[in-house]
Structure 1
C-alpha cells in the first residue's frame, strides 16, 4: 500500500490552501491590480467602460462572514466523526468551478450549500453513508476535488430533506501495483499529482493529464469519462480501466479484472460517465505504461486555418499517433501568446518509452508542410525532456488560463468554454457556424463584440474535438443570466450540426438540455431503469443525467 507524498502533505497542513470560491490554490489567484489590468486588455472592449465601479474587481468574500443556509440534517452518532458543517467546508463544496459557479460564490450566493460534508475513510464508511441517506431522505453528491465545470457537484433540488457532499479525498492510496501486468489498484480519491508521485518510483505512469490534473481525482475522471492532455490514442480514461469497484445503495459492484472480455455488456461501461448517479466509485484497477524517455516537439504555422485543419486531419489519419496535436486558430494563438499576426499554430509532440522519436516527428512536420505549414524554429531534438519555445509558451498559458478566467469573472467579464467533437466532413462548417452564430448571440446579450476562439484538443482518424472560448464584457449583477443565454445558444448550434454536447467535460446539470436532445430514447429508458434498480430512493446526484421526478413519486407512494 502506498501513501502518496501529496496526500501526506495535505493531511499535515503543508499544502497551499485550496480556493473555496475559484480555481486552484489561493496563493496563485490574481490580485486586485492584476484583475484590473486583465480587464483593460479584454479583446474587443476598446471604448467600452469596464463593468462595476470604475473597473474595480468584485471582492472575494470572507468565508467566515458568509450567510450560509441553516443546517437541515444532523449526522447520526455512528457517522458524526466523518461529517462537518463548518462554514468553509460547506462553502467549498457548494459549487464546482464553472464561470457561473465562480460568479455566484463571489456574490456570496451559497443557497445551494450542502448541509454536511462527509469524508469517508473506508469503503464501509461509504456504504454506511448511503444506507443512512437512503433511509433519511438525504441527497448525496459524490465529490472528488470539485473541479467540475458543468454543475456536476451542485445539488439544485429541494426534493430531499437535506444534502450531503460525499468527499472521497481521504481514500487516496495506491493499494497494489502489479508490475508484471503493468497495472495498479488505486483508491478513487487520489489527486493526479499524488498518483503520479506514487507510480514514479516504479517507473510507471497512468499517463492521464487533464488540464485539471492538479485539482481532480481518479474517481472524478472515471465518473465523468475524462479526456487527458494527449491528443491521440489512450487519452480517454475509459481506455485505461481494467476493472471498477463501485458502492451502490443496493450493494457493491466489482467487475472482473481481465485485459478484455466479450461477456455481455460491460459492467464498467455502466458506471464510467455515470457522474455519481448510479453509485460511488471507490477504487479501480488501472492500466499503466512505462514512463517516456524519448520526447520531441515542434510547432508549425499556417496562414489559412482551414488548410491547418486539413493538415491535422492528415496527421490524425497517418497512424503516427502524436502525443500532442493541438491546433490553435488565430484568436487562440494570440490569446496564448504564440502568434500575433493572424496565423494558426499547430503544436506537435511525440514521445516513447523505448525508442527514439525524432524520425516520427520529422514525418509529422513533413505532413504539415505539405498542407502549407511553415515549421517554426526551435523544435527540440529527440531525447530532450523540454519543448520548443512556442509549445512551452502555450503550455504555460494553458495551465494558467483557469486563474485568468477567475480574474475576468471578478471584473464581470463573461468567459465561457465549451468543447465538442464531430466528424471531419462537418468540422469546417461547425467551426464557422459556432463563430458566426455565437458572435451574434454575444452581441445581442452583452451589447458588445466578444472574442470567440477555437483550438483542437484531441484528434481522431474520423474527426476532431474543437474547444471554443468565448470572452465578452458583462454587466455586473447579470453575469449568470448572460452566461446562461450564451451557453444555451452554444448547445443549440452543436445540436444543429450533429456535434456532441461535450467531448470530455461531462454532462452535469449545465449540459442536461443538450444531452437530453442527443441521447437516444431507448437508451434513456434503459438508463432510467438502471437508476431505479441501483438507487431506489433516488438520492445519488439528483438531476444529473436523469429527471429525478420518477424516484420522488416512488418515495411518496411508499
Structure 2
C-alpha cells in the first residue's frame, strides 16, 4: 500500500464513496449551515519547497535522500494543523535530507557529522507526531536540517522467553513487532491508535500511551533497559527487573523526544498472549453517575484492560449510540485464567450507579472468537477509522482535532467545566458553532485521563489558525485547572508554552544541564522541550 504524503495512513484506506457520503450527511445534519465542499490536496510536484542546502559527506551518501517526496513526508507530523497545511500546499519547512542509518554505527557517524557541521538532527520514527515533534520548524540558525529515519533498524534481535523480554530495535513498526513475537506466544501489549504506523523508538521517545486503560498504560512500564546514542557517547542501562541505584538512567531518556539522544534499541518486558476475554458496553442516564462508576472500578483493583467512558456526544459521534449519561466500554483479558468473575463484579459496580448492559456481556476464550467479537464492536472499528475520517472532514473545512490531559478525580468536574467554558468562548469569538466531546482513555485509582474532541465548521484557508485559537484557550483551561498539558501526546513544539509553565524550574535547570552535557552543539531536535 502507498502512504499518503499529506494525511493519515494509506492512500487506499482513505474515506471515499459511501463512507464519505454518509460522513458528509451526518455533518450536514449537525451543522446545517456549514460549507462542506471537498478540497483536494495539490500534487507533490506543485509544492514550493526550497532546494536542499546541505549534502551528505561521501561516507554517508549511501544513507541520504534528497528526493522531494521523501523530504515532504518527513517535514510534518499528523496533527490537524499538519493535514490542513498540506491540503493548502503550505509545506515550506522540510528537511534538507532524509538519512536512513542501517546500523548503530551509522547513527554515531551521522551525529558526528552534524555536530561538526552545525546541522540540526530531527529523529523520525513513524512520523505520527501530533504536536510538531518531527517538524524542522524554526531552524534557520543551523546550516541545515536532517531527518534521521530509524526505519531500517527494525528487527527483534533477541528473545528471552524465560524472563519474558526481548531486545528490539527502535525503528520497528507496531504490526511487525507483534508479528515477530507471535511465534513465541508473546506480546508487548502496547496498542496506541497510531499502532500501525508508529515505532517502538517513537513510543519510548514520547512516553506513549497504549490502548489499555489500567496498569500498563504507558510504554514506560514495559522498559527493562535502553540503549541511546548521544553526541557525547552511548548510554546503555543495565538489564534489571528493578533497581534502587540512584535516579533511573532510562527515565531520563524516556519522553526526551530526541533532544538528548537517539534511542537505537531497548529490552522490553513482554506478556503471554491473552486467551480469555470479556467485554461489555454499559449505558448510563446520568453522566455524573457514569463518572462515579468509572472511578469506583478504577479504585476496585479489578484492573480492566479497557475502561473507556464516552460522554453522550462522543458516544453518538463515534459509537452511534444515543445515551443521556454516557457509554462505558469495559473489557478484561488474561493469559492465565478466565475473567468472567472480574467482569461480573465490574458490571455489579455499574449497576449500583444506574448502569445497564442492554447487549449483555461478551466472553471469549480463543483468537477466533475474539476476532468475531471485535468485528462487531462498533466503537473499536470507528476508533481505527477516526484519523482517516478526520482527514476527510479537514478537507471539507471542518475543524476536527483532539487534546488530552490527566487530573485527579476531585478536580475532574472543575476541569471539564473550565474546558467547556473556554471552548465555548473560543467558538463565540470565532463566530462558529462548535461541539466538544470527552472520553476517558485511561483511568487510575487517583484520576482519569480525559481526551477531548472538537468538531466545528471552519473557514477554508483559515481552519489551522482557527484551531490554534481554540487550542490556546483550552490549553490555558487545562493548566489553570490543575491538569497536565499532555497525558500521552508528548510536548513537541506545539505544547512548549504550557510545558514550560508546568515543569518545576529546578527540573528545567537540570534538563538544560543534561542537554548541554549530552548535546553540546545543540543539534538534536532543537526547539522541543528546550530552546
TMscore range, shorter length? over 0.9
Asked if 1:316 corresponds to 2:298, the answer is yes
**1-side partners of 2:16 and 2:43: how far apart?**
15
Asked if 1:519 corresponds to 2:503, the answer is yes
**Shift, 1:107, TM fit:** 1.1
Query: CA contact under 8 A between 2:120 and 2:525: conserved in structure 1?
Result: yes
Counting only pairs closer than 5 Å after superposition, residues 92-171 of structure 1 correspond to structure 2 as 92-157=73-138, 158-171=140-153
Q: 1:403: which partner in 2?
A: 388
Query: CA contact under 8 A between 2:66 and 2:97: conserved in structure 1?
Result: yes
2:198 to 203, 206, 216: 216
Q: 2:55: which partner in 1?
A: 74
Q: 1:242: which partner in 2?
A: 224
SS in 2 for 1:261: coil
Query: CA contact under 8 A between 1:320 and 1:360: conserved in structure 2?
Result: yes
Name the stretch that deviates more: 206-215 or 388-397: 388-397
**Shift, 1:41, TM fit:** 2.6
SS in 2 for 1:234: coil
Structure 1 gaps, min length 5: 1-15, 548-558
C-alpha distance after superposition, 1:15-41 (max 9, x if no partner):
x11111111111011238865653453
Q: 1:439: which partner in 2?
A: 424
Counting only pairs closer than 5 Å after superposition, residues 499-514 of structure 1 correspond to structure 2 as 499-514=483-498
**Shift, 1:389, TM fit:** 8.1
Q: 1:554: which partner in 2?
A: none
Asked if 1:48 corresponds to 2:70, the answer is no
Q: Structure 1 residues 488 and 268 mapped into 2: Cα distance closer, same or farther (>3 Å)?
A: same
The RMSD of aligned alpha carbons is 1.6
**2-side partners of 1:154 and 1:370: how far apart?**
49
2:64 to 78, 83, 89: 83
Q: 1:326: which partner in 2?
A: 308
Query: CA contact under 8 A between 2:283 and 2:323: conserved in structure 1?
Result: no
Asked if 1:17 corresponds to 2:2, the answer is yes
**Shift, 1:480, TM fit:** 1.4
SS in 1 for 2:90: coil
SS in 1 for 2:122: strand
Query: CA contact under 8 A between 1:338 and 1:390: conserved in structure 2?
Result: no
Q: 2:527: which partner in 1?
A: 543
**2-side partners of 1:175 and 1:207: how far apart?**
19
Q: Structure 1 residues 32 and 543 mapped into 2: Cα distance closer, same or farther (>3 Å)?
A: farther
C-alpha distance after superposition, 1:280-316 (max 9, x if no partner):
0000000000000100101110011111000000000
Query: CA contact under 8 A between 1:297 and 1:348: conserved in structure 2?
Result: yes
2:377 to 378, 392, 397: 392
Instruction: Tell me how many residue pairs correspond in the alignment.
Output: 527
Q: 1:180: which partner in 2?
A: 162
Structure 2 gaps, min length 5: none
C-alpha distance after superposition, 1:71-99 (max 9, x if no partner):
10011101111000101101100100000
Q: What TM-score do the two structures reach when normalised by structure 2?
A: 0.97
**Shift, 1:379, TM fit:** 2.1
Asked if 1:206 corresponds to 2:191, the answer is no
C-alpha distance after superposition, 1:162-204 (max 9, x if no partner):
0010000010000000011110000000000000000000000
Name the stretch that deviates more: 357-366 or 41-50: 41-50
Counting only pairs closer than 5 Å after superposition, residues 215-294 of structure 1 correspond to structure 2 as 215-294=197-276
Query: CA contact under 8 A between 1:299 and 1:390: conserved in structure 2?
Result: no
**Shift, 1:436, TM fit:** 2.6
**1-side partners of 2:63 and 2:379: how far apart?**
42
Query: CA contact under 8 A between 2:128 and 2:198: conserved in structure 1?
Result: yes
Asked if 1:469 corresponds to 2:453, the answer is yes
**1-side partners of 2:510 and 2:70: how far apart?**
36
